[in-house]
Structure 1
């Protein structure tokens, strides 16, 4: 394993990274680490019909902070010898979905490379949601989604299901590769019933899914998803929130369905649409593959969506009462002069990461499709109590008039050659920004001090924020100020997000390595010198194949999916 040698002076040099503190929404006198995100998540989970130590959706709770409760979680295991491996089960040939655990079952999205059911051999390309027995890894059932006939513009080959489900009681909800929202019976046909209202399944074999209802977003809402449909849904009460993945055309030159919904609220029991919003509209840059987040800020419930135009949007979960959305605030996560150039050559980004709630703040990073490669990124901490346009700056035309949101350009908000200008927004909600605001500053900054594009979602505990970027840097920051503590170069791209459990931090990468760190701001404790190179203090374990998804812990078991296999990892009882 390769590692870049990082001197103490380089550690200290991280302070030179452009961190801009702007407003403070939290109590400065609060003791560091006083907010406990694990307790918050477990309290929400306790309101659901799942086990008290389950992790029943992406991020565990609607705040999306991957900080589960766990005891004696291993930092050593071996997939070859089986040391500390409780069981392992085959998935498909490509796996991007994050595992979810609820009521004795594990759910993972993948493709059909495993050929698990008789009527669909591995040669048939499908999007598959697999359900395993958490005790022994036995496959219980599979929900199969044949490829769309329109081809890769809507349903890219072999990608499978790239999102995670939401589970409560005997129901599981998820977004399929076909652009449908599906509600399934967690028991499949093992209960001897074909539960409805949908009862037209091709068979009632025990290894196949029992569908409760299904809603086709392409047919009913006119959505044109780009390459794939991927959204890990969340709920508030009986309301299900969904990002539709509406995107650009196959040629990437326009938006086929600019009037189609980007964000949807549904009745989770029936699939009835309660309200929709199409704010990104003609400004969508590529696809829309982020997932919604829910929180209550200053007594106001909010559902937060990250759009394919690079803006973050917050809505009242109740909508406007007329089938439309009620906007609370929106935030431009790109500098106004940033430019989108086809193929990832520009500096403007969309958002693939999921917004995360931590102690009254919202955190999100920008990025692009991994196929677009590496590039300049941004990480933001946002105050969600403000209203309206809360972006850091605003755009003005050559006459000095503010450019309305509805007339913003898709590729570049402000063009200096056209005498357009940028001014600070007095209503800005950015608490801090991590990264470089201009391409010139980015290019002039050392690699270890840059914030690059990221597909990953932050995880935060004890006021320590962790995030991996696509260039392979793993960052540790102060969550309240944005001050960098240390970075680690994984020397491999990372699509994943961190797991924080007990006092340990786990992150996977494209080389199949899972790096493990102690939960600390001190670089001397987080990293150790091994023959002149710095490595994670708790080690690196290779999983035998790329780790694109995020590790989770449920019921004191660590679950890690590599590209083709799900591992349940558990230390012997003490």
Structure 2
């Protein structure tokens, strides 16, 4: 029997609109960390100053808090939310990007409450859209696809996903398939699904030492990392951080092309996604674990390709930006923004912040956006010379989500609302 029940009736629809499927355009933000999964907007100029009363085009209330981020495709904003504090009903909601009117909402229900941490409510995932279909993962609530009008296309019950800290990975769409990292917990796999039918095309199961919450040494473990799609030598790869190693999976076949072993005396935790530029991959292990860089060359075990490793890092939950040979990161304890030389790992500069960052950095051109837990977005320049602040933009509501940059607007999810800045 399925663990979830799909409730395809529209929940609290304010208005229903037929939506054209014009496909993903250069101005869209179609999945977690943008169209390429690297945190960078493909086009457009974006606002750099706002508050809860200035430069807000619209804001709408959301049913419950959540750490999942919005995406924007073809005039639609999609975001996940639980409908109740126990996460027994979980929804994908579609809003009109111009005015914030709710177009539709689709909800699945769970038979039992699943564990999570109070800092990670039951909407930890970000949807993905290819312009014709939008895909959402509700963990134990299943993987679902809808067309742009909200009509159900397919649903998959992938089993129970149980971890004391909840879930947080997001699906990504690469060509004709959906790539999903299913962790954390005892059942951990990366799989590809046909975006049209939901059929499983391949599945890679990652070994899980321990009980899925603690490793064989009794230390915390888990992966919440969203895969990063790249192309190498004419082949599409999905780079995904698991609890003990980083994998390069062939998107077509699911074969492990190479893997890099990640070790930490603080446990086996992957919160953020790998950051990639050229052949270099930089990764921040979770729970103040090491930051490391390695060359993505070779096959099989490429751990010997490590270029550098730095211990004693800030808590890394959100993902940074790797641009022009420099890494820009945000920390969740100590609370800071910093810049590292990607060749050496040396800290170039760092700037303290009043609040911690849980969301990832988004960037348009040389302008970066990082929203802290107080709901204030720090706007700064991607400069290796020094920290160059542009503005601090408060919304007076807590947030753990990542900004979406689309069509010259900034879309932000806070615990109580979804905002459009113009």
Above 0.5 in TM-score?
yes
Provide the secondary structure at the position in 1 that maps to 2:79.
Answer: strand
Within the candidate set 238, 249, 259, 1:303 is matched to: 238
Within the candidate set 306, 326, 336, 1:430 is matched to: 306
Provide the secondary structure at the position in 2 that maps to 1:53.
Answer: coil
Higher strand residue share = 2
- Whether the 8 Å contact between 2:110 and 2:141 is mirrored in structure 1 is no
| Aligned-partner Cα distance in 1 for 2:240–2:369 | 26
| Aligned-partner Cα distance in 2 for 1:300–1:123 | 42
Distance verdict in 2 for CA 1:462–1:144, change over 3 Å: same
Higher helix residue share = 1
TM-score (norm 1): 0.64
1:129-183: CA deviation from partner (whole Å, max 9, x where unpaired) = 211100101111112132441x233798982321111111221112114341111
In the alignment, what sits opposite 1:277? 204
In the alignment, what sits opposite 1:326? 255
1:518-570: CA deviation from partner (whole Å, max 9, x where unpaired) = 221222xx25xxxxxxxxx2232221111211112101111111111111111
- Whether the 8 Å contact between 1:496 and 1:550 is mirrored in structure 2 is yes
Across the two proteins, how many residue pairs are aligned to each other?
391
1:381 aligns with 2:298: no
Where do 4+ consecutive residues of structure 1 move more than 4 Å? 122-125, 154-158
| Aligned-partner Cα distance in 2 for 1:453–1:155 | 17
TM-score (norm 2): 0.85
1:26-60: CA deviation from partner (whole Å, max 9, x where unpaired) = xxxxxxxxxxxxxxxxxxxxxx9222211111122
In the alignment, what sits opposite 2:267? 348
| Aligned-partner Cα distance in 2 for 1:385–1:299 | 14
| Aligned-partner Cα distance in 1 for 2:79–2:256 | 33
In the alignment, what sits opposite 1:33? none
Structure 1 or 2, whichever has the larger Rg, is 1
| Aligned-partner Cα distance in 1 for 2:120–2:273 | 23
In the alignment, what sits opposite 1:66? 39
Distance verdict in 2 for CA 1:241–1:156, change over 3 Å: farther
In the alignment, what sits opposite 1:104? 75
1:214 aligns with 2:155: yes
Provide the secondary structure at the position in 2 that maps to 1:178.
Answer: helix
Instruction: Report 1:430-449 matches (<5 A).
Output: 430-433=306-309, 435-436=310-311, 442=312
| Aligned-partner Cα distance in 2 for 1:366–1:378 | 6
Distance verdict in 2 for CA 1:289–1:236, change over 3 Å: same
In the alignment, what sits opposite 1:137? 100
Provide the secondary structure at the position in 1 that maps to 2:223.
Answer: coil
- Whether the 8 Å contact between 2:71 and 2:77 is mirrored in structure 1 is yes
Provide the secondary structure at the position in 1 that maps to 2:390.
Answer: coil
Within the candidate set 145, 153, 164, 1:183 is matched to: 145
In the alignment, what sits opposite 1:193? none
Within the candidate set 125, 128, 137, 1:166 is matched to: 128
1:317 aligns with 2:244: no
Q: Which runs of 5+ in 1 are unaligned?
A: 1-47, 114-121, 189-209, 248-254, 320-324, 339-346, 369-375, 392-427, 437-441, 443-450, 528-536
1:56 aligns with 2:27: no
Q: Which runs of 5+ in 2 are unaligned?
A: 1-21, 215-220
In the alignment, what sits opposite 2:5? none
Shift of 1:123: 9.6
| Aligned-partner Cα distance in 2 for 1:515–1:137 | 24
1:300-320: CA deviation from partner (whole Å, max 9, x where unpaired) = 43222211x23111222233x
Distance verdict in 2 for CA 1:465–1:177, change over 3 Å: same
Distance verdict in 2 for CA 1:229–1:539, change over 3 Å: closer
- Whether the 8 Å contact between 2:171 and 2:226 is mirrored in structure 1 is yes
1:247-294: CA deviation from partner (whole Å, max 9, x where unpaired) = 1xxxxxxx4xxxx45111121211111221222333544433211122
